A and B are shown apart, each in its own frame.
Chain A
Amino acid sequence: GIQVEQSPPDLILQEGANSTLRCNFSDSVNNLQWFHQNPWGQLINLFYIPSGTKQNGRLSATTVATERYSLLYISSSQTTDSGVYFCAVGASGSARQLTFGSGTQLTVLP
């Protein structure tokens, strides 16, 4: 099946810093989503982005499907951005989506 790798596994930032999270995948996709898992376990949808670029406030994401990677940018980070960020992909032609990466644990220090 499709493989998903996220990097870095852990990231510690000072409040106000910018960061880039990466997601590599091993096959063509028809779905790619970025999630933020809060301390209570809720998965919050950040972006649905199988290709192209999107922005939502301080967050933006880019997926280059031909090169099989996606990037999540967080600018001017805040302590409330802390948590685990997951990339999840759905392989083209598969009805079984989604396959999740192992996540990036982000800690933003005040």
Chain B
Amino acid sequence: DGGITQSPKYLFRKEGQNVTLSCEQNLNHDAMYWYRQDPGQGLRLIYYSQIVNDFQKGDIAEGYSVSREKKESFPLTVTSAQKNPTAFYLCASSIGQGGYEQYFGPGTRLTVT
């Protein structure tokens, strides 16, 4: 059963702690993406990766970091430098970049207090 999984579904952290969100896909897609959604708004791009060992900043990369050591995995670390980390985080993938359809995981809701 192919798809994108994100874990955990809910995550609670204290301010000042780094936290890593997991994203795994078994669709054999080359490109993967991380988006952030705040209440009542659309999604904004944090980072994207076209191939293994390569990634690029999106519109709101400050305070976040990523790695792409395997094709199937694209973890996102929310660092203590991110000023407003509480949000809904969605991971997506596509066959490639340049006009290909994107598919989304179920998301992780992060709350930082």
A pairs with B = yes
State whether A31 and B106 are in contact (beta carbons under 8 Å apart), knowing that A86-B43, A100-B44 are contacts in the complex.
no
Say yes or no: A41 contacts B48, CB within 8 Å.
Answer: no
User: Quick one: which of A68-106 are within 8 Å of B by CB?
Assistant: 86, 88, 90, 95-103
Say yes or no: B106 contacts A30, CB within 8 Å.
Answer: no
State whether A30 and B90 are in contact (beta carbons under 8 Å apart), knowing that A42-B106, A43-B104, A102-B41 are contacts in the complex.
no
Q: Which residues of A contact B98 (CB under 8 A)?
A: 30, 95
User: Quick one: which of B24-77 are within 8 Å of A by CB?
Assistant: 35, 37, 41-45, 48, 50, 56, 58-59
Q: How large is the interface on B (under 10, 10 to 19, 20 to 34, 35 or more residues)?
A: 20 to 34
The total of chain A residues at the interface (CB under 8 A) is 25
A102 to B42 CA separation, bound complex (whole angstroms): 5
A28 to B58 CA separation, bound complex (whole angstroms): 20
10 other A-B residue contacts (CB within 8 Å) besides A95-B56, A98-B43: A30-B99, A31-B99, A31-B100, A31-B102, A42-B106, A86-B43, A88-B43, A95-B97, A96-B56, A100-B43
Q: List 22 A-B contacts (CB under 8 A).
A: A1-B59, A4-B42, A30-B98, A30-B99, A31-B99, A35-B104, A41-B37, A41-B88, A41-B106, A41-B107, A42-B104, A86-B43, A90-B99, A96-B58, A98-B45, A99-B45, A100-B35, A100-B42, A100-B44, A102-B41, A103-B41, A103-B42
Residues of A in contact with B (beta carbons under 8 Å apart): 1, 4, 30-31, 33, 35, 40-43, 45, 48, 50, 86, 88, 90, 95-103
Residues of B in contact with A (beta carbons under 8 Å apart): 35, 37, 41-45, 48, 50, 56, 58-59, 88, 90, 97-104, 106-107, 109
